């Protein structure tokens, strides 16, 4: 998800680094050095994991070398074939194996012992120790250390173009301060990239201004400083935009239940966004949480709409209240609310006819449904793939009927992420759920931290853990 925005964020860091590096070279204030070169996304990983990985390298090697030193004299002193001594030596080299093998060679020169020690060091924690003696040169050892660093926390050794920044580690002879001139072109490119990713204009402007304020004036010494500063600046600015406060629907159900009333939710939006399917998903979601929903088929205008919502209600096993096609949609909504009260049901989900925000007559009909049913929540259902269109539609519906929240469908197929980033900030209303697939279980409550991990992490397992 949101691969387009992730690439743009990473590219911003690379561009700022190139800008500062070029200026430093002209000022003769630049030097290359050896060290650990971090990627843009590596700053989102847990430091504890890195500490664990590094601890598996040298300390154990020192212990092994001490054991080798202790055991070697015993081998040299017992040239007459002491069986106990040879058993110790065999046990040392073959520990953690299913069986102990006896040494077939009693006289080994010092070169062979040295090669075997080196082979044992590099092959620790692997399933087999074969063929390592041919790979003991200093150049190959250096390459293996570097490979181990870059492949840490990954399932494979290959480094993707987006996963790790290119170039070696460098530092400045004299500490540099990021100035406005350094970020002007970089942030212009970022703003254009955000707009291309269907991010709303006001959101793109807010992100750029926030990043600029967080970067200008910061002092840097090494290339890693630039990467970390841009990562934190971007993450902080996006975090402020996507975290719109609001109650969850589950909390509201509990509050209404304590009052002996059902939570009444009305769904609005244009045709084709997945509104009716979303209602089926939510009915299934809350049914599994132990609540009893009822659906109102208040879309009485569109041919087949009643049959469609009935199909979903039957599939998930909830009651549906419906009238004949062409009947008053407000009356259907009213009957559903009264049914829920009479039967002690906790949730009423009202399906309405999809309509364009520019259709005045249909918008007036929607206002009538709201007036009669008196819903606790009015939720706009938008298609994440439509990007800026979804944001504009939500704004129009909000002006006409004052919506309380948003559900975005098809979020799993959204590579740009513009609507997810923009819609809540523009209308100042929270995203409540995301549709993430076609099945009834493919819906999740929106979580700002989850969104940040989608945008700023390449660790897919961490993101999946948050979903669960």
CATH number at residue 386: 3.40.50.300
Residue 260 covered by a domain: yes
pTM: 0.68
> DSSP states of 366-392 as a string?
HHHHHHHH--SEEEEEEEGGGTHHHHH
Tell me the per-residue pLDDT of 130-183, one tens digit each, with 9 for 90 and over: 444 444 444 444 444 333 333 333 333 333 444 444 456 777 777 788 888 888
Min mean pLDDT across 44-48, 176-180, 391-395 is at 44-48
Burial (Cβ within 10 Å: 0-12, 13-18, ≥19) of residue 116: middle
Question: Is there a contact between 353 and 305 (Cβ–Cβ < 8 Å)?
Answer: yes
In sequence order, what are the residues at sequence separation of 6 or more whose Cβ sits closer than 8 angstroms to the Cβ of residue 373?
264, 266, 296, 330, 333, 334, 336, 337, 348, 350
Residue 203 covered by a domain: yes
Alpha helices in 123-179 (DSSP H): 138-150
Q: Are residues 263 and 331 in the same domain?
A: yes
Q: Are residues 286 and 253 in the same domain?
A: yes
Residue 65 has a pLDDT of 41
The average pLDDT across 395-418 equals 87
Angle between helices 180-196 and 201-215 (to 10 degrees): 150
Res. 71: pLDDT tops 50: no
Residue 34 has a pLDDT of 66
Residue 59 has a pLDDT of 41
Run of H or E including 5:
helix 3-26
Q: How far is CA 175 from CA 24, 123, 179, 214, 232, in A?
A: 10, 42, 13, 18, 20
Q: Are residues 204 and 279 in the same domain?
A: no
Q: Are residues 304 and 427 in the same domain?
A: yes
Q: Are residues 207 and 309 in the same domain?
A: no
Higher-pLDDT residue of 150 and 8 is 8
CA–CA–CA angle 139, 145, 147 (5° rounding): 100
pLDDT band at 419 (very low <50, low <70, confident <90, very high): confident
Domain with 200, as residue range(s), is 3-39+174-242
Question: Is there a contact between 429 and 377 (Cβ–Cβ < 8 Å)?
Answer: no
Tell me the per-residue pLDDT of 194-205, one tens digit each, with 9 for 90 and over: 988 888 899 999
**Among candidate residues 182, 155, 262, the one with its CA nearest the CA of residue 17:** 182
Res. 409: pLDDT tops 80: yes
Q: Are residues 191 and 314 in the same domain?
A: no
Res. 38: pLDDT tops 60: yes
**How many domains are contained in the chain?**
3
Q: Are residues 304 and 453 in the same domain?
A: yes
Q: Are residues 263 and 208 in the same domain?
A: no
Domain final residue, candidates 209, 242, 275: 242
Residue 14 has a pLDDT of 85
Residue 10 has a pLDDT of 83
Tell me the per-residue pLDDT of 306-359, one tens digit each, with 9 for 90 and over: 999 999 999 999 999 999 888 899 999 999 999 999 999 999 999 998 766 556
In sequence order, what are the residues at sequence separation of 6 or more whose Cβ sits closer than 8 angstroms to the Cβ of residue 239?
448, 452
Q: Are residues 230 and 182 in the same domain?
A: yes
Run of H or E including 409:
strand 405-409
């Amino acid at each position: 998800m949101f691969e387009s925005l992730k690439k743009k964020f990473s590219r911003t860091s690379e561009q700022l680094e190139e800008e500062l590096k070029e200026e430093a070279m002209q000022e003769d204030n630049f030097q290359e050095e050896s060290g650990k070169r971090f990627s843009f996304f590596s700053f989102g990983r847990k430091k504890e994991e890195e500490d664990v990985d590094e601890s598996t390298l040298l300390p154990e090697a020192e212990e092994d070398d001490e054991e080798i030193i202790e055991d070697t004299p015993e081998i040299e002193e017992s040239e007459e074939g002491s069986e106990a001594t040879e058993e110790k030596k065999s046990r040392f080299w073959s520990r953690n194996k299913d069986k102990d093998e006896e040494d077939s060679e009693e006289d080994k020169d010092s070169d062979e012992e040295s090669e075997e020690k080196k082979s044992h060091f590099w092959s620790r924690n692997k399933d087999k120790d074969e063929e390592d003696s041919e790979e003991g040169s200093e150049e190959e050892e250096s390459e293996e250390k570097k490979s181990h660093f870059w492949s840490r926390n990954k399932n494979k050794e290959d480094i993707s173009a987006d996963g790790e920044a290119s170039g070696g580690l460098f530092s400045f002879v004299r500490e540099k301060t990021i100035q406005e001139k350094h970020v002007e072109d970089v942030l212009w490119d970022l703003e254009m990239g955000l707009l291309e990713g269907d991010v709303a204009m006001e959101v793109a402007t807010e992100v750029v201004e926030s990043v600029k304020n967080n970067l200008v004036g910061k002092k840097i010494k090494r290339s890693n400083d630039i990467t970390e500063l841009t990562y934190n600046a971007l993450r902080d600015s996006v975090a402020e935009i996507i975290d719109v406060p609001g109650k969850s629907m589950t909390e509201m159900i509990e509050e209404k239940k304590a009052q002996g009333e059902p939570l009444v939710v009305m769904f609005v939006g244009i045709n084709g966004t997945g509104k009716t399917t979303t209602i089926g998903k939510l009915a299934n979601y809350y049914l599994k949480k132990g609540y009893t929903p009822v659906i109102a088929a208040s879309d009485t205008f569109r041919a087949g709409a009643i049959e469609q919502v009935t199909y979903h209600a039957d599939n998930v096993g909830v009651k549906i209240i419906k009238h004949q096609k062409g009947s008053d949609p407000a009356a259907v909504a009213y009957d559903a609310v009264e049914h829920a009260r009479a039967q002690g049901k906790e949730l009423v989900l009202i399906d309405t006819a999809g309509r364009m925000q520019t259709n005045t007559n249909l918008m007036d009909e929607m206002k009538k449904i709201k007036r009669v049913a008196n819903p606790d929540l009015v939720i706009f259902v938008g298609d994440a793939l439509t990007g800026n269109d979804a944001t504009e539609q939500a704004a129009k519906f909000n002006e006409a009927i004052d919506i309380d929240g948003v559900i975005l469908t098809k979020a799993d197929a959204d590579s740009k992420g513009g609507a997810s980033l923009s819609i809540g900030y523009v209308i100042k209303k929270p995203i409540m759920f995301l549709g993430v697939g076609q099945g009834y279980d493919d819906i999740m409550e929106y979580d700002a931290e989850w969104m940040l991990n989608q945008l700023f992490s390449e660790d897919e397992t961490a993101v999946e853990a948050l979903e669960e």
